[in-house]
Chain A
């Protein structure tokens, strides 16, 4: 919802300070660790290395999907193609498995290329033909799902041992690779944010006209955001294949709403201009952790959804509350 309040005038655009980054992702990080505390208390076995590794592996595909969606949402767009691209990437990896680390890289390159291609179509249609993003990406999502069905009629295929076992393991037996990938994305975002592309992205989301006046190519920025999104979705489908060691033509379906929920939980504004990838990563991790906590607390199975829904609302309210408090403090 667009806020009716009259917000403070734009701050001068310099490199964002660490504090600003922390501020934007802070509430969701707090929620995430709070949940860990609850989970660890209720279920002491949760803190075992294996449990943590499994949880990271389980969360990574959604984290990647949410990260991708963030690029588009930040500039004020919307991208439903996430479900289609993940399915498509997932089945492509499963029907063309390539052995060894090099094979793994080749597979990754393939699906990222697919993601970029779909992203380019989305970007062109949305940014240059000026079709509404939600409808255009709905159409490309449906088309990708069709293509996935053509490639694989039913779940199956094989995933190389490298992807299935090495990529889902831990470095030195203690640092889950999935966690390392997540941290790498956060670092990438911290750098990306302060590049010209990153700044343009947020500027377009904040105020399209002002961005255009300050010399930013709005259409190109939009187009690029879809490219980034597509690449991340491709990677999400890739990690989904690694984690499940199989391909599924419907594999992307659950990601459609979940990835947006993750972005929203992270506090990124729909409509653009505020938020970031790091927050979305934590939003996704929180959603997956929630499944664990619900199980540990033993919520009656029929009513799991009630608790899930309530937690989502409360988490967003909490974020808003924290933001309001920090803002007030600053103004003093």
Chain B
């Protein structure tokens, strides 16, 4: 069966004159019967726009020439149960996948099956969330310091003094834990900063809004909010409680939040902050690295060095710039109201790494007309630092784990 598949693929490749692919790479060369790479896109579904944008990016890239002729992409949604994703990974291995690009549901529970996939010659690429199994590639912003940088930005905006809320993600989740540890590392240095409420918003706008409203009932005089994804809900809650008062707030990349940061009316009544955090574009970056390795255009990294950092988006209020077209052009980074939902995560584009994408790619998974896959820049891949529990198991974090990269402390502790 497998022999036939391989033989047929090689024959086809030779016929089409694309044998170069097969010859120049030592990686798995098993392809589907029609000579395409069999790639699985394995998703969790927390049900927010982030997930579907990340998936759409991969779908759009896979439909962009020349991938449209060389890649067979199969999307599989595993829900939120790690057991289901384990089962699906197993099925993908059995089907002879060449690569799996995936949002892993758990950082640790999938390790065993991930290892097995690697042993079977399947390229494993995780985006955004990570696994601690070293044979998988983790393409993630998690190590880029979202927590500490946004916390410092908030402290700066508050001049080192004030009552704040922490709007966190999902309890018991490694990403939430990492972000919050980074943030608390900063907040703890400032005795003037008092965390008066801490709640879990499940990275969801609606939940953030309700939880923030509950916290506002006890502390209507809050001075600032440090939020993970769902931040736009926090602004809605503030407005609901008092339309004439906003506070400095840091959060992730929703379009609504960026528009609010840039809104002069809001700035007058107190909004200030920075938009950073998880970019859906990671999925596209992961997919492109994987395809370059499969196609022999890039060498596989040795095990233990497969953690790749995606740069942290960093857009302070003053830097928000509206896009006129359907992509990030001329340094713009947000879309006008009405063009996309407020929960739309803006960081789907990256002019250097993913020039192939447009708004239709992110919203509907369609390729940009006329676009072709461009090779990644030579310096695109940057190693991520080790972080135990995030991207490795038995390892030590660097001593300067929480050093600031995007912002400097403007107030002394």
- Contacts from A to B (Cβ < 8 Å): 43-46, 48, 51, 54-55, 58, 61-62, 148-149, 152-156, 158, 164, 243-251, 253-254, 258, 288, 291-292, 295-296, 298, 301-302, 304
Interface residues of B in 159-213 (CB under 8 A from A): 170-174, 176-178
Given known A-B contacts A155-B108, A245-B112, A295-B76, A51 and B90 have beta carbons under 8 A apart: yes
Contact B76 A301 (CB under 8 A): yes
Q: Which A residues lie within 8 Å of B174 (CB)? A: 154-156
Are B94 and A45 neighbours in the complex by a CB distance under 8 Å? yes
Interface size class of B (residues with CB under 8 A): 35 or more
Give A251 to B171 CA distance when docked, in angstroms.
12
Closest 10 CB pairs of A and B: A249-B172, A246-B108, A244-B109, A254-B81, A154-B177, A295-B91, A301-B77, A154-B174, A45-B94, A250-B172
The answer to whether A254 touches B112 (Cβ under 8 A) is no
B177 touching A248, Cβ below 8 Å:
no
Tell me whether B108 and A248 are in contact (CB under 8 A): yes
A251/B109 contact (C-beta < 8 A), A153-B177, A154-B389 known: yes
Q: In the complex, what residue of chain B is closest to A258 when comparing beta carbons?
A: B81
Asked if residues B107 and A302 are in contact (CB atoms below 8 Å), the reply is: no
CB distance from B364 to the nearest CB of A (A): 13
- Cβ-defined contact, B172 with A155, below 8 A: yes
State whether B77 touches A54 (Cβ < 8 A): no
Instruction: Give the A-binding residues of B (Cβ under 8 A).
Output: 1, 43, 74-77, 80-84, 86-88, 90-91, 94-95, 106-113, 170-174, 176-178, 389, 393
Q: Are A250 and B91 CB-contacts (below 8 A) given A153-B177, A244-B108, A291-B84?
A: no
Knowing that A244-B109, A249-B171, A288-B83 touch, tell me 7 more A-B residue pairs with CB under 8 angstroms: A45-B95, A154-B178, A155-B172, A243-B112, A248-B109, A292-B87, A298-B74
A148 contacts across to B, CB distance below 8 A: 172
Taken together as a complex, chains A and B put the C-alpha atoms of A244 and B91 apart, in Å, by 17
* B207 CB to nearest A CB, Å: 16
Q: A43-B94, A244-B82 are in contact. Are A155 and B106 (CB under 8 A)?
A: yes
What residues of chain A lie closer than 8 Å to B87, measured between beta carbons? 55, 58, 288, 291-292, 295
Residues of B near A154 (CB, < 8 A) are: 107, 172-174, 176-178, 389
Interface of B, secondary structure class, is mixed
Which chain B positions have C-beta within 8 A of A304? 77
A245 B171 Cβ-Cβ under 8 A: no
- The distance from the CB of A306 to the nearest CB of chain B, in whole angstroms, is 12
* Complex Cα gap A152–B171 (Å): 11
Contact status B172-A292, CB under 8 Å: no
Closest chain B residue to A46 by CB distance? B94
Chain A CB within 10 Å — which of B88, B108, B174 has the most?
Answer: B108
Q: Give the most central of A58, A148, A154: most B CB within 10 Å.
A: A154
Pair B107/A155 contact, Cβ less than 8 Å: yes
B233 vs chain A, min Cβ distance (A): 22
Q: Contact at B83–A61, with CB atoms within 8 Å?
A: yes
What residues of A have a CB within 8 angstroms of the CB of B75 in the complex? 301
Could you tell me if B91 and A149 are in contact, using CB atoms closer than 8 angstroms? no
Report chain A residues within 8 Å CB of B170: 250
* Shortest Cβ distance from A288 into B: residue: B87
Which residue on B lies nearest to A245, using beta carbons? Answer: B112
- Given that A149-B171, A154-B177 are contacting pairs, would A248 and B94 also be in contact in the complex, using a CB cutoff of 8 Å? no
Select from chain A the residue with minimum beta-carbon distance to B175. Answer: A154
Given A46-B94, A245-B111, A292-B91, verify A153-B172 contact (CB < 8 Å): yes
In the complex, chain A residues whose CB is within 8 Å of the CB of B389: 154-156
How many whole Å from A299's CB to the nearest CB in chain B?
10
Docked Cα-Cα span, A58 to B74, in Å, equals 23
Minimum CB distance partner of A87 in chain B:
B172
Which chain A residues border B112 with CB–CB below 8 Å?
Answer: 164, 243-245
Interface residue from B90, B110, B111, B177 paired with A54 (Cβ < 8 Å): B90
Complex contact A155–B109 (CB within 8 A):
yes
Partner of B80, one of A44, A48, A247, A254: A254
Most buried by B among A46, A51, A253, A301: A301
- Choose from B86, B94, B108 the contact partner of A58 (Cβ within 8 Å): B86
**Would you give the shortest CB distance from B121 to chain A, in whole angstroms?**
15
A248 contacts which of B74, B106, B113, B393 (Cβ < 8 Å)? Answer: B106
In the assembled complex, the CB of A160 is this many whole angstroms from the nearest CB of chain B, namely: 14
Q: List 30 A-B contacts (CB under 8 A).
A: A44-B1, A45-B95, A55-B87, A58-B83, A58-B87, A149-B171, A149-B172, A154-B174, A154-B389, A155-B174, A156-B107, A156-B174, A158-B393, A164-B112, A243-B86, A244-B86, A244-B112, A246-B111, A248-B106, A248-B108, A248-B109, A248-B172, A254-B82, A254-B84, A288-B87, A295-B87, A295-B88, A295-B91, A298-B74, A301-B75
What residue in chain B is nearest A250 (Cβ atoms)? B172
The CA-CA distance from A58 to B82 in the complex, in Å, is: 10
| Minimal Cβ-Cβ distance residue in B for A295 | B91
List chain B residues, Cβ under 8 A from A155. Answer: 106-109, 172-174, 389
Please indicate the chain B residues that have their CB under 8 angstroms from the CB of A55 in the complex. Answer: 87, 90
Evaluate contact between A254 and B91: CB separation under 8 angstroms. Answer: no
Bound CA–CA A246/B84 (angstroms): 16
Task: Name the distance in Å between B320's Cβ and chain A's nearest Cβ.
Answer: 33
A296 B111 Cβ-Cβ under 8 A: no
Inter-chain contacts of A298 with B (CB < 8 A) = 74
CB distance from A169 to the nearest CB of B (A): 12
| Residues in chain A near residue B88, CB distance under 8 A | 291, 295
Chain B residues with Cβ under 8 A from A51's Cβ?
90, 94
Shortest Cβ distance from B108 into A: residue: A246
Tell me which of B90, B110, B174 has the highest count of chain A C-beta atoms within 10 A of its own C-beta.
Answer: B90
